[in-house]
Amino acid sequence: MPIYKNVASQKIGFVMVDSTDFATPETGISPSGVIRKDGGASAAVSNTVSELTNGLYVLTLSQGETNADLLQIRLHDSGASCADQFLVYHTDGTTKDILADTGTTLEGHLTAISGHTTSILADTGTTLENHLTAISGQTTSILADTATTLDNKIDSILVDTGTTLEGHLTAISGHTTSILADTGATLDNKLDSILVDTGTTLEGHLTVVSGQTTSILADTKTALPASLSGILSAVDSAVAGPVASILADTKSIIVDASLISSTIDGPVISTLDRNQTDIDAILLDTGTTLENHLTAISGHTTSILADTTSILVDTGTTLENHLTVISGHTTSILSDTTAILTDTSSTLDNKIDSILADTNTISNLGAGSDSAILSTIDHVVSALDSAVAGPMASILVDTANISNLGAGSDSAILSTLDGPIISIIGNKVTSILVDTGTTLDNKIDSILVDTGTTLEGHLTAISGHTTSILADTSSPDGIQKNVALSNFTFLMVLSSDGRTSATGKTITATISKDGGAFAGCTNSVTEISGGLYKINFTQAEMNADVVTLKFTNADCDQRTIVIHTSV
């Protein structure tokens, strides 16, 4: 319930709890309060705090105390070991003031809200009935989990807010009358429009409400209070005539159910589960809307998928095809090597002897022949560099976002690089062989002789590099499972204000593995300085997928930390 600006006799409810466990209600105390308005000086509140029941207290604010945009209230009791209670309110002006300041009308806002609601239902493929069913299920679950009943919850809310059910009904009636007057409409017309838009009848809605009310009363083993029964009876009498008129006016209306049929989308569910106030504040601070954020995310996702598809289309291959090509090249090289030795009826040793004899002839060509040969090789290498540079730059640009794809992105990069480079190098090699009137077998023999190496040596080096790359890229990130963790650091603060660093304290450390019971840690906590402490965890303590740590001290706020280990 909001606090209205410059309005007298508004009540705020709060709970005072024990400072040791922050859970046990403190009863029979006399808390005092101080208030700060719009960041000004603190002043004692004018009215006395009174206890309602079981640690629940209420404070009535004067008109002057609410005459500010920001209220900061601190409730404390110096004579008891209870935690201070801090309350912050942003006061709310009247609806007419807001409409005047923004140059809008209530009818305009209602029309916009109706449009947004229709759009959300259409975009997410859901219906209003599905949302109500989900809310009903969640409410039943909450009541079951908290071992309470709806009557108790309603009673507690009325006590906390210092109001009555009759008062709320009167306020709702007043707001409804005001809205109808501002929009120049009647309740009959509004109900007709709602029933037409949703493709339902008032009789159907009343039947559903009646069934749910009966179910709630049966589940909670309660009955409607006499006063509420009287109110319902009066409502029935007042509504009977308009209902008959509405049913008569709408009985022939048929609405296409597809106008409101759809399913709930992930972002809408996430928004319902969050704290709405925090979301509004974030959107206000960043000057954006939820729709814009969803549009941006959708755009980024589309762009990533398009880049990935473009890379595969540009290379005209798939990862499986690239692996097949590489396997084929390897088999071909081994086959060619065997064929060369077979065709020449020689061995690798004989080839080396022949190469040495050939190069001895080259040395007899005269001074400068070695330099001429090296110059030719340099020219070939330079041509290869120039030919590869452009495609390589394009490939790097195309694959800049591949790292965001997660597992398997390295395979996608290899897939992208393989086709263009092999094609370019293959064309250049063919051209060089044609220009020099030689064969690949002869060139390979010459290269091995010139570099003083063997084919087996190169294959051994490639194998070593491959093993090293696999070892370097297989190291997991994060905190490792089943590996001892040393010098784990954390901060402790005093519970008196929740922010002052706690120094010189003896901290108790307990651990839970994969949701199991908490147990004391093997090693003790030691202080570093300034409220920072550290602890060493054993290998056995880290042998879990989820490790939950709890650090406590009677004078400090409990520090709870959850670690998800990596394999």
- Inter-helix orientation angle 165-183/226-250, to 10°: 30
Same domain, 226 and 162: yes
The pLDDT of residue 536 is above 90: yes
Burial of 554 (0-12, 13-18, 19+ CB in 10 A): exposed
List the single range of 352-356, 366-370, 534-538 with lowest mean pLDDT.
Answer: 366-370
The tally of domains found in the chain comes to 5
d(CA 520, CA 133): 45
The rounded distance, in Å, linking the Cα atoms of 563 and 546 is 6
User: What share of the chain in percent tops pLDDT 70?
Assistant: 63
From 71, 93, 115, the end of a domain falls on 93
**Separation between Cα atoms, residue 432 and residue 439, nearest integer Å:** 10
Q: Does residue 166 lie in a domain region?
A: yes
Query: pTM for this structure?
Result: 0.24
268-296 pLDDT, tens per residue? 344 434 445 556 667 777 887 777 767 77
Is residue 478 in some structural domain?
no
Give residue 74's pLDDT. Answer: 95
89 with 107, same domain? no
Phi/psi class of residue 219: alpha, beta or left (left: φ > 0; alpha: ψ in -120 to 50)?
Answer: alpha
Residues 219 and 112 in one domain: yes
Domain CATH number, residue 48: 2.60.40.10
**Residue with the larger pLDDT of the pair 78 and 320:** 78
Place 415 in a pLDDT band, splitting at 50, 70 and 90: low
The reply to whether 507 falls in a domain is yes
Contact 260, 199 (CB under 8 A): yes
pLDDT higher than 90, residue 347: no
- At 518, list the tokens: 């908490």
In angstroms, the CA 119 to CA 533 distance is: 53
From 473, 503, 538, the end of a domain falls on 473
pLDDT per position as a tens digit, 38-50: 999 999 999 999 9
Let me know if residue 331 belongs to a domain. yes
126 and 207 both lie in a single domain: yes
My answer on whether 232 and 338 are in the same domain is: no
Task: Output the pLDDT for position 99.
Answer: 67
- β pairing state of 56-61 and 50-53: antiparallel
Is there a single domain that holds both residue 243 and residue 109? yes
Residue 3 lies in a domain: no
3 contacts 61 by C-beta, under 8 angstroms: yes
Q: What is the mean pLDDT of residues 226-238?
A: 59
Cα–Cα distance between 268 and 261 in angstroms, integer?
16
Domain span at residue 558 reads 485-564
Mean pLDDT within 387-403: 53
**214-218, 277-281, 363-367, 460-464: the lowest-pLDDT one:** 363-367
Q: Give every strand in the sheet of 526-529, ordered side by side.
A: 485-491, 532-537, 526-529
- What pLDDT is stored for residue 252 in this prediction? 37
Distances (CA, A) of 209 to 10, 45, 190, 213, 517: 33, 44, 19, 6, 44
Helical ranges in 316-408 per DSSP H:
319-343, 348-363, 369-398
Q: Are 462 and 348 part of one and the same domain?
A: yes
The CATH number for 522's domain is 2.60.40
Taking 50 as the threshold, does the pLDDT of residue 405 lie above it? no
Q: Is residue 4 part of a domain?
A: no
For residue 86, the number of C-alpha atoms closer than 13 Å in the C-beta half-sphere is: 5
Q: Which residue has the higher pLDDT, 102 or 554?
A: 554
Beta-bridge partners for 491: 532
Q: Do residue 393 and residue 413 come from a single domain?
A: yes
pLDDT tier at 550 (50, 70, 90 boundaries)? Answer: very high
| Cα 450 to Cα 107: distance, rounded to the nearest angstrom | 89
CA 168-171-173 angle, 5° bins: 110
Higher pLDDT residue, 454 or 191? 454
Contact predicate 176/187, CB 8 Å? yes
